[in-house]
Amino acid sequence: MTGRAGQSVEPGLFVTIEGGDGAGKSTQAALLEEWLVASGRTVVRTREPGGTDFGLEVREIVLHSRGHITPRAEALLYAADRAQHIATKVRPALDRGEVVIQDRYIDSSVAYQGAGRVLDGAEIRRLSEWATEDLVPDLTVLIDLDESLARERLNSAQKRFDRLEAEKNEFHRRVRESFLSIAKAEPERFVVVDGALSPAEISARIRHRLTPLLVSPAR
């Protein structure tokens, strides 16, 4: 993937948040939005799957379909959601100079469909790069949490598990390892935070890493 840094393709800032189910991504996305809005930025907070009307329909299929979905069909559904989302919502916001905070992006497909479903991670990434015409985040936050701890949190929230959440611990362990290895390979794009820390501490670490990107004159 080619980075956007220095190319001034879009004047906005694209931040993605990744991690396993139950890691605390939504809480952090909300805290980050609050902080950015208070500092005068216009923020679009969004998510995959389901950031558009089309995406909500795809989300329903991919998370709640009762029949079996083959791994490749599942990968294509996430990629279709992503293509629509980036073209119609995310790129326009970046073009307007806004900050996009997005819950999950390509790394989720590499981790879940690649390592989780055991498809080729490089192929999965290429599929999404094609779908998004190579849009790369300026910063990706990985909230890392032991999969058993994450499972305990989900259990205590007493929410009905979707198709992916219902996968066994071994699946979620592979997903976690995949996220960590992607982050290790691209340290300049990632900030990795320990999901066992308090929400306030996690948020402080994210802000610390984001601050220099916000004052960059290229933006």
Nearer to ligand TYD, 86 or 99 (CB): 86
Annotated binding site: 19-26
Q: Which among 164, 150, 29, 152 has a CA at the least distance from the CA of 101?
A: 29
Nearer to ligand TYD, 23 or 36 (CB): 23
The minimum distance between CB 124 and ligand TYD, in angstroms, equals: 9
Residue 110 · residue 167 · CB < 8 Å: no
Tokens read off for 118: 């055991």
Residue 100 · residue 46 · CB < 8 Å: yes
49: which residues sit within 8 A by CB, 6+ positions away? 55, 58, 59, 62, 63, 77, 78, 81, 82, 104
The minimum distance between CB 95 and ligand TYD, in angstroms, equals: 23
Tokens read off for 4: 């956007």
Nearer to ligand TYD, 132 or 203 (CB): 132
Annotated binding site for ATP: 19-26
Binding site for ligand TYD (CB under 6 A): 21, 47-49, 63, 78, 103-104, 108-109, 112-113, 162, 164-165
The minimum distance between CB 218 and ligand TYD, in angstroms, equals: 28
The minimum distance between CB 178 and ligand TYD, in angstroms, equals: 11
84: which residues sit within 8 A by CB, 6+ positions away? 52, 54, 55
Residue count of the chain: 219
